[in-house]
Structure 1
């Protein structure tokens, strides 16, 4: 099957997709899954510049028309603790159409338990993020 593309899992019916940004976030102390998800989203968007929305490269499209879909891979046992509104606050502009949370990420040992840093145990939470950007 080399050279053949698989059909996309992305639903393009609500926006024209331009690109996908991907990131990873960790919370090593305090066991805060929302902090890990926010870091994953910041990681996804922090190394990109999107001049097309600012300088009119796409006629009639600016940051007011930017649309975002966020997909987060979060360990299943921590999903009920995830604060989606705090995660959304990471994005400086763009209309967030959807935040999808799927089973993913990881819980592993950070190798150290530091009560002074709010640790309940030595768990490190890891979240993966995919940010779909379009208009």
Structure 2
């Protein structure tokens, strides 16, 4: 039986002063999941651990994202986080400070229901 995606949420987050890609990614993930409520688990008698959660975060320097830390912060399901190239770095021309912007897609999958 193959998994079927039943939800996808997108979010954006940033770190304005620390150039912390993990912090920006965590804020993007939080932005995405804060808009979701999934009452079907209670309605159908499903355990949320049956859900596979796949998170993709995009930043300019994906190798600087601590994916394990982000995975630990997800509240439900069996989660996996991967970082890819994307997002945006914006440099303040006056101070040289770099603002890091991340985008995230949070997808949830379940085995096809009969």
Same fold (TM over 0.5): yes
Match of 1:87 in 2: 70
Relative to structure 1, the CA distance from residue 111 to residue 35 in structure 2 (aligned partners, 3 Å threshold; closer, same or farther) is farther
SS class of match (1:50): coil
CA distance in 1, matches of 2:72, 2:23: 12
Between the two proteins, the alignment pairs up a number of residues equal to 109
Larger fraction in strand = 2
Match of 1:109 in 2: 91
SS class of match (2:46): coil
SS class of match (2:8): strand
How large is the RMSD of aligned CA atoms in angstroms?
Answer: 1.8
2:67·2:82 contact (CA, 8 Å) conserved in 1?
Answer: no
Alignment of 1:1-135 (within 5 A): 13=2, 15-53=3-41, 55-57=42-44, 61-75=46-60, 78-96=61-79, 98-110=80-92, 113=95, 121-135=96-110
In structure 1, stretches of 5+ residues that fail to align are 1-12, 114-120
Instruction: Give TM-score, length-normalised by structure 2.
Output: 0.85
Relative to structure 1, the CA distance from residue 23 to residue 29 in structure 2 (aligned partners, 3 Å threshold; closer, same or farther) is same
1:41·1:90 contact (CA, 8 Å) conserved in 2?
Answer: no
CA distance in 2, matches of 1:47, 1:112: 36
Deviation of 1:112 after TM superposition, in Å, equals 6.8
SS class of match (2:69): helix
Residues 80-123 of structure 1: per-residue CA shift (max 9 Å, x gap)? 21111121123111101x3232211000025775xxxxxxx510
Runs of 4+ more than 4 Å apart: 110-113
**Radius of gyration: which is bigger?**
1
